């Protein structure tokens, strides 16, 4: 099924990754950040952003009951006001997939599981496979894998390719998101390289960060990744999804991200099939802004659920 690449093919493919015009990226981002949404388009954007959220809990202290609570929240966020969409998915550790699956039932909300020794990725390859299989056997609809950043920075692209391709092979029906942890990759050129590599290796989605490292989903990084998706689409006609994660906690940022993806990739990506936000506190802010749009009154976090 998968196109298999030899070592030299990978090296050649990565060598073809264009260098990133950092100044150009920064200037474009600066322009995006001056834009704001008003009225009807703001309401539409807030709803859209809510429908794209992967509601996330990824903490060492997570328990089945915390996950049940998150799943409850995921199913009832949109009760707040009529006409609100559901969130796209909940994102949990592999050990919590079963609980989340059970709690979400046939609500239509997907269960995404992080995998491959999230967040560091520092585990033997076999362990990463077992980790992934465990999540899949428990019913995960989506797998969020991390790459081995150390090996990538050392230039071992073949290793990264094999790693992604092997996990992709396990995900027969599940969609695969590949997390780069761009906060550890140092330059936009590296971000571009890993984006191109992950897409070739079979990623359905590329995702910026684990949320454990700062900086996370910054605009320059996201724009660079969108560039890679666009070039791939122009070349092959195949769509790849995008998931910025980490640090997007306000509606304003989320709306600007939507604007960016619309301008770079087009409207086809403006659905939760191709675009996701990995966030835990964004949902509440979206609801607060939505209420503000409805009532004209600025809201207080005191009236919105914590978990």
| Catalytic residue list contains 144 | yes
Instruction: Pick between residue 34 and residue 65 the one whose CB is nearest to another protein.
Output: 34
Q: How far is the CB of 299 from another protein (least distance, A)?
A: 5
| Catalytic residue list contains 61 | no
Kindly name the residue from 144, 196, 204, 285 that is annotated as catalytic: 144
DSSP label at residue 279: E
C-alpha dist (Å) from residue 91 to 106, 145, 264, 275: 17, 12, 26, 15
Q: How far is the CB of 279 from another protein (least distance, A)?
A: 19
Instruction: Pick between residue 6 and residue 300 the one whose CB is nearest to another protein.
Output: 300
Instruction: Pick between residue 114 and residue 282 the one whose CB is nearest to another protein.
Output: 282
Instruction: Pick between residue 81 and residue 268 the one whose CB is nearest to another protein.
Output: 81
Query: Which residues of this chain interact with another protein, rule CB under 8 A?
Result: 296-303
Instruction: Pick between residue 17 and residue 289 the one whose CB is nearest to another protein.
Output: 289
C-alpha dist (Å) from residue 222 to 16, 55, 195, 245: 20, 19, 11, 10
Quick check: 145 and 179 in contact, CB under 8 A? yes
Quick check: 163 and 125 in contact, CB under 8 A? yes
Composition of the chain by helix, strand, coil, percent to 5: 55, 10, 35
Quick check: 228 and 190 in contact, CB under 8 A? no
Q: How far apart are CA 46 and CA 283, in angstroms?
A: 10
Kindly name the residue from 110, 129, 207, 285 that is annotated as catalytic: 207
Q: Which of 206, 146, 196 is nearest to 175 (CA)?
A: 206
Quick check: 252 and 286 in contact, CB under 8 A? no
Q: How far is the CB of 242 from another protein (least distance, A)?
A: 29
Q: How far is the CB of 298 from another protein (least distance, A)?
A: 5
| Catalytic residue list contains 207 | yes
Q: How far apart are CA 185 and CA 71, in angstroms?
A: 33
Quick check: 80 and 112 in contact, CB under 8 A? no
Q: How far is the CB of 78 from another protein (least distance, A)?
A: 20
Q: Could you list the active site residues? A: 144, 207, 243
């Amino acid at each position: 099924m998968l196109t298999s690449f030899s070592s030299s093919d990978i090296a050649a493919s990565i060598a073809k990754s264009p260098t990133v015009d950092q100044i150009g990226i920064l200037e474009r981002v600066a322009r995006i950040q001056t834009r704001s949404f008003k009225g009807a388009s703001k309401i539409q954007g807030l709803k859209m952003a809510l429908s794209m959220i992967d509601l996330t809990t990824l903490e060492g202290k997570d328990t089945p009951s915390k996950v049940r609570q998150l799943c409850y929240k995921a199913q009832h966020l949109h009760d707040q006001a009529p006409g609100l969409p559901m969130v796209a998915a909940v994102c949990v550790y592999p050990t919590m997939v079963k609980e989340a699956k059970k709690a979400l039932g046939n609500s239509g909300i997907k269960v995404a599981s992080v995998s491959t020794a999230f967040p560091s990725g520092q585990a033997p390859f076999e362990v990463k496979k077992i980790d992934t299989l465990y999540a899949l056997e428990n019913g995960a609809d989506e797998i969020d894998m991390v790459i081995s950043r150390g090996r990538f920075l050392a230039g071992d692209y073949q290793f990264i390719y094999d790693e992604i391709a092997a996990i992709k092979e396990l995900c027969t029906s599940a969609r695969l998101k590949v997390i780069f942890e761009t906060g550890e990759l140092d330059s936009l050129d590296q971000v571009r390289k890993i984006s191109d590599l992950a897409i070739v290796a079979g990623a359905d989605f590329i995702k910026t960060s684990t949320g454990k490292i700062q900086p996370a989903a910054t605009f320059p990084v996201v724009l660079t990744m969108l560039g890679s998706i666009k070039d791939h689409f122009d070349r092959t006609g195949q769509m790849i999804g995008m998931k910025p994660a980490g640090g997007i906690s306000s509606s304003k940022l989320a709306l600007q991200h939507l604007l960016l993806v619309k301008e770079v990739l087009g409207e086809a990506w403006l659905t939760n099939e191709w675009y996701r936000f990995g966030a835990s506190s964004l949902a509440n802010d979206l609801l607060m802004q939505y209420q503000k749009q409805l009532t004209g009154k600025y809201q207080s976090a005191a009236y919105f659920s914590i978990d």
